[in-house]
Chain A
């Protein structure tokens, strides 16, 4: 008989036995690891949001695991009620004014609940006691009052994240207030100012219309003048580009001004004489104009008489033209062109 058939019962027995031993060992190890036979104490707490919370997550004290989260449920007051256990060997850390804090990585790289014991040393809290979380005002007040042994040498990144979290909360509050103010829900002075601003806006619109219709054309003219002035300034600036400016030209011994000043008043006298002659001519022109003004009525009547004479002469000529006896008796004159071409007929 083959070996395996002869000792089939023994082989199968060993096969089964080893398997059972392995299963029992696994169960024992799991039981030890999961603390099936340990008397852990449970406590209660609450958070405003369940984000980042999950059952089984660790409760740590200075990075050391001292318990774990047991259950999460939504309470009647819309707060998230949680229960967690603290291992029995760490029960003496759970004293009055202890708080817990949820530290969740915003990148989704895990989360944990950190336990901060109270400063007062005394008897541990009874099982089922309520421990505030830092997510509620009471918990934050305990830390602010210095009643909590909060580790200040923790992870710098976690502290930065906590600061950033507070900053975001403040910013959110500010934005909400600003939003309410802009919507007119805020009764404060800024809200009143904004209300008044709303009333003023139509008047400002009318003023802007007037400015557009009336003032802007004048401004355009002013701008044109300014443009001319700026062009003059450009020319002046071009003259002043040299370091010496106009002074060398003025002081040039061969220049007009120097000559004008250093010719023993010859040029000055000539200019003065010309101006004197001009003044005299202007006086004569003035007298002529006065005389012409005095003759204007006579000239007017003379012109009128001349007009009447021309009319009579035209009638006489018309009669002579119509007289059959005298027809063809007058020699026609040939037109004589002017030797000098009129200025207006010239081509420019």
Chain B
């Protein structure tokens, strides 16, 4: 079991570097097929926007309600803005967006690629000299990474807006004052860490989901198994990567 696990890790590492090389080649060459990339952005980014917006609005509102209820008891009422930035921008924004994308788009990618193998479409691409990784995996990787970063921006905006809406209902405060207080604690470093996490999480989701999609051999029953493994691995790697980045950013 250990040997198979090590072989799996080494195989995934090789696939990771191969996909990265193909992605760089895709970006540097002038002959990109933008249609696949745009469709991937549409499916992964635009169509996920409603659920991301809803969740971020709710999270922002909950945080401000809890913060306003608890923090003044310790004389730290002003820290609610620090907590908003810390939780929404640096932590929950990237992580929740990544989990939603992994569950929604990652499984879709794995299932799609698995079905293409079962229906011999991949063999058809190879027979006409088209590299399936370059043609199928690279646009999905770019689309996932870009969608992840863009959705993270929307998550932050809607999360902070949701907290403002709830604050206005509990204790009316001018938008200008709210933004000033928020900008007092929000730094470019916070945004950078948020975008870095989005990039890493998007990359993880793309690599893991395409990897498990290509791992399907012949039977259609392998597809749901691959999808389950894909989402499980995505969640694990996202949490581990989040912990590593958070620790490094605090050093």
Residues of A within 8 A of B (CB): 4-5, 8-9, 11-12, 15-16, 19, 22-23, 26-27, 29-31, 33-34, 107, 109
Chain B residues within 8 Å of A9, by CB: 38
Closest CB-CB distance, B66 to chain A, in whole Å? Answer: 21
Known: A19-B153, A19-B154. A12 touches B41 (CB 8 A): yes
Say whether B150 contacts A8, CB under 8 Å: no
Q: In the complex, what residue of chain B is closest to A7 when comparing beta carbons?
A: B42
Say whether B39 contacts A30, CB under 8 Å: no
Say whether B191 contacts A11, CB under 8 Å: no
Say whether A12 contacts B191, CB under 8 Å: no
Q: State the total of A-B contacts with C-beta under 8 angstroms.
A: 51
Chain B residues within 8 Å of A109, by CB: 75-76
* Distance, CA A120 to CA B140, complexed state (A): 69
Residues of B within 8 A of A (CB): 38-39, 41-42, 45-46, 49, 75-76, 146, 149-150, 153-154, 157, 179-180, 183-184, 186-188, 191
Say whether B46 contacts A30, CB under 8 Å: no
* Distance, CA A26 to CA B149, complexed state (A): 15
Closest CB-CB distance, A6 to chain B, in whole Å? Answer: 11
Closest CB-CB distance, B48 to chain A, in whole Å? Answer: 10
Chain A residues within 8 Å of B187, by CB: 30, 34
Say whether A27 contacts B188, CB under 8 Å: yes
The 7 closest A-B pairs by CB, nearest first: A33-B183, A19-B150, A19-B153, A12-B41, A8-B42, A15-B46, A109-B75
Say whether B42 contacts A4, CB under 8 Å: yes
Most A-side CB within 10 Å, residue of B42, B75, B154? B42
* Distance, CA A313 to CA B15, complexed state (A): 155
Say whether A23 contacts B46, CB under 8 Å: no
Q: In the complex, what residue of chain B is closest to A29 when comparing beta carbons?
A: B183
Closest CB-CB distance, A148 to chain B, in whole Å? Answer: 29
Q: In the complex, what residue of chain B is closest to A16 when comparing beta carbons?
A: B150
Say whether A8 contacts B38, CB under 8 Å: yes
Say whether A29 contacts B179, CB under 8 Å: yes
* Distance, CA A261 to CA B45, complexed state (A): 136
Q: In the complex, what residue of chain A is closest to B189 when comparing beta carbons?
A: A30
* Distance, CA A19 to CA B52, complexed state (A): 14
Chain A residues within 8 Å of B154, by CB: 19, 22
